[in-house]
Chains A and B, each alone.
Chain A
């Protein structure tokens, strides 16, 4: 088929397919011109650049060349779905965990998951954080009915095997920290109570507590779940850490579990 006398729809269908090398014969009079490669290269570069911008620590861990080669494989099956590339790559961590060449870097997917959480926290809605004193003002009897509502920016990840907070924070910025982290499971907490995004290590019990809050459990039930996960947990200390980091935006007193999950 030549592209003259072709409808706009058929032209775009064929052009889009040819951008990723599929069936370029449909628009051979265009795809065989040297200039067609400019579009192919620009589209691919735009996708890979966006991934690299969203995964700077993963890029630093594996080197730019390795990262861009892996990203190119990701792009083919997971192209951007909308024109805002700020949050492109939501499934990149899952892709890396199944990516054969990444098998020798088992922590890579976990670090990428932290970066995805960072992106989500970075673009989430603004909201005022809950004042830490609000929880102290609760009566003990209210703990089994009240629920902590998560701040829209709050994200957390737990890795059973890898020190993801240490790996992520050492590689996120171009620092030359060469300290080898203590190799053990680690959690990370990301919050953005005001303008700046805050990151901190979080123990497993803290992650379980947040999981329970996200599932709209009461404060008491969340505490029980956290202590069940780690009987040695300093529960009061962890809750203070979460409150001070701005992980919550309100206390909900209604008994309705379906209510107002942001």
Chain B
């Protein structure tokens, strides 16, 4: 949910509606943003979906960031807290993206420690999202499903499965998206993300970009149906971060997802 939709989000009375925000956008001392979020939280369940904890970085989670996340979680009592299998801070700098990591034994150990630190600090289980991939990295020791499964086993965390990220990655790296969907252990999945993507302006279909600036494509809807018919219903988020349409258009996509969920149960 973006600030442009605060008013619509608060008053929308659709049953089962919930919202997700990036906690980084609410890590402030005070002011109208927090008041708005409070007003929305008074009407709807909320999920905190982080982009800045940098769990795949070769460093422990930043203590100040973790403390701010904890404060938000205490204040807003989200039903879910999630992060990414990615890194975004290095040294004294923040890179506003979800950067890739070689899935090595060393990385598995480090990321498991970081997830554990986070869960102990927040006193709750978190979900880890599969990122979009744009690079062939030769040094992986694990495929992504095995790696996420290992993290779940070692830390008790769950997975936030982003179906669009699977579609984009399968296209870019040349694997079978449906095969990935079918192989993913359903009991690990605590939440699902759906989003739109765009083609690279130079390379076209050869390089799809997880841009969150377009409606969800037909192929991603098909993968979503395939997934939930196998594993059952899960809380599902329609993500849109750029080229924001009217709230009503997002609500349309949300209703379509709800229809799919109703059929899956």
Contact = CB atoms under 8 A, between A and B. Distances in A.
Interface of A: 2-9, 11-13, 15-16, 19, 29-30, 33-36, 38-39, 42-43, 46-47, 50, 79-87, 122-127, 152-153, 192, 195-197
B102 A43 contact: no
B137 interface: yes
A83 B172 contact: no
B54 to A, nearest CB: 8
Interface residues of B, number: 52
A29 B90 contact: no
Nearest to A197: B32
A192 B97 CA distance: 33
B52 A83 contact: yes
Interface of B: 24-25, 27-33, 35, 51-54, 57-58, 62, 64-65, 87-97, 99-102, 104, 106-107, 110, 133-139, 172, 200, 202-203, 206-207, 209
A85 B96 contact: yes
A46 B96 contact: yes
Contacts of A4: 102, 138-139
A237 to B, nearest CB: 29
A66 B65 CA distance: 34
B93 A46 contact: no
A125 B62 CA distance: 22
Q: Which 4 A-B pairs have the closest CB atoms?
A: A83-B52, A46-B96, A35-B134, A126-B30
Contacts of A12: 57-58, 87, 90, 99, 101
B29 A123 contact: yes
B31 A122 contact: yes
Contacts of B172: 35
B94 to A, nearest CB: 4
13 contacts: A3-B139, A8-B104, A11-B102, A12-B90, A35-B134, A36-B134, A46-B97, A82-B64, A82-B94, A83-B24, A83-B89, A86-B24, A122-B32
A83 B90 contact: no
Nearest to A48: B96
Contacts of B100: 15, 39
A16 B90 contact: yes
A24 to B, nearest CB: 13
B137 A16 contact: no
B88 A83 contact: yes
Contact of B35 (A34, A152, A195): A195
A30 B135 contact: yes
Contacts of B95: 16, 19, 43, 46, 79-80
Nearest to B29: A125
B167 to A, nearest CB: 15
